[in-house]
Amino acid sequence: MRLDRAYIDGFRNLKEFSIDFDEKRLTTVVIGQNGAGKSNLIEALVDVFRSVDLNKDRLHYRYEIDYRIGGQTVRLSNRERTPTVSVDGEVLSRKAFEARKSELFPDLVFGYYSGGGRRLERLFDEHQRRYYRTIMLSDDEAECKAALADRRLFYCRPIHGVFALVAFMAFPQKDVRTLLRDKLNITGFHSALAQFREPWFAKSARGSRDPFDLWGAAGPAGRCVRAILQEAFLPIALSDNPVDDYRDKNVSESQLAAFLRDEDALKRYASRYKSDAEMFAALEAADISDLFRELHLWLTREGDFSGDIAFSDFSDGERQLLMVLGLTRLSRGKRVLFLLDEPDTHLNPSWQNSYLELIRQWTEQGEDAENCQFVMTSHNPLTIAALKKEEVRVMARAEDGRVKAFQPRVDPRGLGFSGVLMDIFGLPSAIDGPTQDLISERNELARRAELSPEEASRLEHLSFKLGGLGISYEHRDSLYRRFLQALEKAEFDDDRPFTPDELEEIERTSRALADEALQKQ
């Protein structure tokens, strides 16, 4: 599954917007200034796949998306007003598409946004509701598995990181354990406390109110919780007055606590499942059925003298990393499109610099594997610092006010932090404002053919001060002085980041000025 091209016209600020992806690449990182429309692009892509899959809610904007899957090129389009699906140039009827959907449509479109809003998440609600309605009371395993496969859109939430980590601990694999130890110092499972609550459907007069009967829960959610109870150490029924935020009223809630006290208990529970992915699906079914109040997890960690550490005590960056990478790992082997909006927000610089390499390791995918693709937005120069230009797209407003997407003119790889900020993000300078003011003043004096004694003294002072900061310049260099004189004639607005077109113009101008200065030498 690899996106090739997307055209969006009329979705918020995306007007006649086109973006080409390099379908040979596993990852594409979309960057741009705030308000450029990066999040809008992610939402539009999700919205199109959602609409085509559900075959409802005709979209008010025009779209055309090309992707390759299973050696075939599929086009989703409504540019002629009627939504169509084409395969290798041949338009399919809706009936024919439904018959071949498992062949022509991604197994999973995965979404994640690091912020707190639900603008992206709400696009996944209908798929979640449809899945929930099927599994809520069904004891037919085949029907529940079919419903899981039919839920082709999945949104990542914080509790999924806990579920994924528990599943990894229950089905230990050497490479996963190595990554957890090397990146997070996690060495093993200590214990877990599953805190269940009375679900909303049990609060009616007809619902069971017995906690040990799971308030009448059935289907895969009920089977999952009953299996945990069977392996738990002395499950306890209790009542609590949970407060989720300051607006909550003091209302008693029926709960059930089940403690898995060691790794043996976890593995006994996990023995009911064939894989970590199947175990994760069971835990998630219990969660969307409103049974989980919380899953508290304790892990053993290298260098932690207390013997264990709670997952909730991990940093935001650690939890974010585990959540996203955990779900990408559980999706391995499927044809998946990952649409991630700023997934690197809380990561430290080291992880930002190696984030995409971690994705490759955890998904067991290489550049030549066409099962999946990652399209993510970012504001962080470290995330793209090791990439080739084919893996990056820059969104910016053109002179006509429309948003356009560009491939950078140079590879971010090898530019360094400052180079990425200036040549890819378009910052006029990577130096702080006060220091840049000193440089500008020095250059203004240096380009002058004649200086007064006061100006000459000031230039010497500025050169000495900047030299102490590692910014050296020999103001007696006549070649550089000629370059500065020529540069003064070129007008560039340095109050805002440059667009890709302006960066190209600056490069052409700089080369021409350098050539001119050399000719006069």
Per the model's pLDDT, the better-predicted residue between 373 and 500 turns out to be 373
- Is residue 56 over pLDDT 90? no
Q: How many other CB atoms sit within 10 Å of the CB of residue 125? A: 13
Tens digits of residue pLDDT in 37-48:
999 999 999 999
Cβ proximity of 170 and 297 under 8 Å: no
Give per-residue pLDDT as tens, 282-320: 999 999 999 999 999 999 988 776 668 899 998 888 888
Query: Over the chain, what is the mean pLDDT?
Result: 88
pLDDT given at position 478 = 57
Average the pLDDT over 369-398 and give the result: 91
Average pLDDT for residues 490-508, to the nearest whole number? 67
DSSP 8-state assignment for residue 497: P
Q: Looking at residue 491, what is its pLDDT?
A: 53
Q: CA torsion sign, 502 to 504 to 507 to 508?
A: negative
Q: In Å, what is the CA distance from 337 to each residue of 42, 69, 251, 425, 481?
A: 11, 11, 42, 26, 53
Q: Is the pLDDT of residue 495 over 70?
A: no
* pLDDT at 473 > cutoff 70: no
- In the chain, the amino acid numbered 241 is N
Q: Calculate mean pLDDT across residues 242-255.
A: 78
Confidence of residue 361 (pLDDT cuts 50, 70, 90): confident
Q: For residue 289, report the phi and psi dihedrals to the nearest 5 degrees.
A: -85, 10
pLDDT reported for residue 138: 81
Q: Look up residue 477 and give its two tokens.
A: 């260099």
For residue 198, is pLDDT > 80? yes
User: Percentage of residues in the chain with pLDDT exceeding 90?
Assistant: 54
Q: Grade residue 482 by pLDDT with cuts at 50, 70 and 90.
A: low
State pLDDT tens for residues 395-434.
Answer: 999 888 899 999 998 999 988 777 788 778 877 666 778 8
Domain layout of the chain by residue ranges: 159-332, 433-519
Is the pLDDT at 375 greater than 70? The verdict is: yes
Specify the pLDDT at position 366: 57
Q: CA 92 to CA 109: how far, in whole Å?
A: 22
Rounded to two decimals, the pTM is 0.86
| pLDDT score of 238 more than 70 | yes
**According to the model, what pLDDT value does residue 91 have?**
97
